[in-house]
């Protein structure tokens, strides 16, 4: 059963915030959902937006400027949280591990395993909740994300063939098995066996599987975290795979939501073309 936290009129539709008890994480989870005006007349396609380190459902919901463009194209937007939260949920003093840093994996190691099941939450549980409670078309889904969320979007899209019509990312953590933004977290959540990490590295997945639809990646050329993100590894993998898609280095842009909001219109138009073409 879901609880309504808030609902606000937004570009002719409704921006809602909802909470529910999650079976996947064993905690209360909160998510944002924008429904365009078109949802009053029948099910609409949905674009998932996965956020980055330290974020909640609220960051992109309030900063990305996505609702205006989603309303124009008749697309719903879902903003999940980035990790389980609450009393009794494992955490760490560092900002890049624990609450706010779920990395969209199913943890197998203690103390994380009891609650940090974010892959199952985003891939299975939350889609079912949307399907049963809102005017969402489960056959028309796409996914995007920023930073850690870009990592999640790409790995989910390439690991769940047929699920998403398109995938895009803003400044994704592109090669976490070779980066301090990844090795630390994958080691903590999944253990020391690095073979288990490979399923959560978009550069490796791109070389081995690719994506059946189209891909759009935007990376700020002045991003202060370029050494941690390793965008060149993903770009090389896309070229080696001959992946249908576009990788753009955006001159002068950094890692912030000023960058994300600048290119959000183009990303939603990219997804709209795929979603409405189904």
Residue pair 152/145 in contact (Cβ under 8 Å)? The answer is yes
**Parallel, antiparallel or unpaired: strands 13-21 and 2-10:** antiparallel
Distance CA(172)–CA(234), nearest Å, equals 9
Contacts of 70 (CB under 8 A, 6+ apart): 11, 34, 36, 47, 76, 77, 268
Residues identified as active-site: 147, 223, 255
208-232 in b/e form (b: 16+ CB < 10 A) is: eebbebbbbbbbbeebebbebbbbe
Tokens of 53: 């380190």
**Cα–Cα distances in Å, from 180 out to 74, 184, 185, 221?**
39, 6, 8, 20
Tokens of 156: 């989910």
Show the beta-strand stretches assigned E in the chain.
2-10, 13-21, 28-35, 44-50, 76-79, 136-145, 166-170, 214-220, 245-250
DSSP type of residue 131: H
Tokens of 133: 């409670």
Q: What angle do CA 109, 113, 114 make, to 5 degrees?
A: 150
Longest dimension (CA), the chain: 50
């Amino acid at each position: 059963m879901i609880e309504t936290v808030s609902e606000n009129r937004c570009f002719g539709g409704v921006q809602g915030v909802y909470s529910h008890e999650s079976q996947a994480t064993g905690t209360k989870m909160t998510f944002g959902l924008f429904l365009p005006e078109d949802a009053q007349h029948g099910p609409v396609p949905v674009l998932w937006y996965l956020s980055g380190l330290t974020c909640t459902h609220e960051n992109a919901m309030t900063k990305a400027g996505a609702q205006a463009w989603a309303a124009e194209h008749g697309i719903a937007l879902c903003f999940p949280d980035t990790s389980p939260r609450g009393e009794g949920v494992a955490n760490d003093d560092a900002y890049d591990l624990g609450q706010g840093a779920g990395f969209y994996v199913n943890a197998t190691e203690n103390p994380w395993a009891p609650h940090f099941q974010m892959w199952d939450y985003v891939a299975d549980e939350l889609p079912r909740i949307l399907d049963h409670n809102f005017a969402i078309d489960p056959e028309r889904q796409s996914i995007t994300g920023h930073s850690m969320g870009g990592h999640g979007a790409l790995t989910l899209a390439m690991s769940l063939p047929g699920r998403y019509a398109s995938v895009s990312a803003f400044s994704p953590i592109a090669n976490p098995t070779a980066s301090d933004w990844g090795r630390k977290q994958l080691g903590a959540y999944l253990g020391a066996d690095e073979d288990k990490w490979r399923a959560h590295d978009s550069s490796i997945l791109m070389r081995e599987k690719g994506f059946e639809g189209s891909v759009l990646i935007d990376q700020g050329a002045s991003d202060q975290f370029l050494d941690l993100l390793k965008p060149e590894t993903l770009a090389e993998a896309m070229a080696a795979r001959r992946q249908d898609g576009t990788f753009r280095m955006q001159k002068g842009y950094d890692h912030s939501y000023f960058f994300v909001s600048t290119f959000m219109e183009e990303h939603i138009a990219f997804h709209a073309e795929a979603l409405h073409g189904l």
